């Protein structure tokens, strides 16, 4: 009985800490690099989907994604 109470209290404490970390992570401002990475992934996904239907739009999305990749590399160079 006592052992099960300890396990429950420990697991509930771990859950609370995890929830707290998630809650504070929601309000964290994303860096420019993270925003560019998200946009890059979206453009690459769209380019892949468009590659079977509209080759011109697909190529434009790949070009935009390439430009964003170069921006991310530039940020990494200046960071280090």
* pLDDT tens figures, 36-70: 999 999 999 999 999 999 999 999 999 999 999 99
Say what the pLDDT of residue 12 is: 47
| pLDDT surpasses 70 at 18 | no
Task: Say how many C-beta atoms besides its own lie within 10 A of residue 53's C-beta.
Answer: 8
Question: Where do the structural domains in the chain lie, given as residue ranges?
Answer: 2-79
Task: Say how many C-beta atoms besides its own lie within 10 A of residue 61's C-beta.
Answer: 21
% of the chain surpassing 90 pLDDT: 51
Say what the pLDDT of residue 50 is: 94
Q: Taking a C-beta distance cutoff of 8 angstroms, is the pair 51, 58 a contact?
A: yes
pTM of the model: 0.63
Q: How confident is the model at residue 79 (pLDDT cuts 50, 70, 90)?
A: confident
With a CB cutoff of 8 Å and minimum separation 6, the contacts of 44 are: 61, 62, 65
């Amino acid at each position: 009985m006592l052992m099960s109470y300890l396990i429950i209290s420990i697991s509930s404490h771990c859950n609370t800490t995890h929830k707290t970390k998630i809650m504070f992570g929601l309000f964290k401002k994303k860096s420019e690099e993270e925003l560019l990475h998200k946009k890059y992934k979206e453009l690459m996904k769209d380019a892949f989907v468009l590659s079977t239907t509209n080759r011109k739009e697909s190529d434009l999305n790949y070009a935009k994604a390439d430009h964003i990749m170069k921006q991310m590399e530039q940020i990494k160079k200046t960071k280090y």
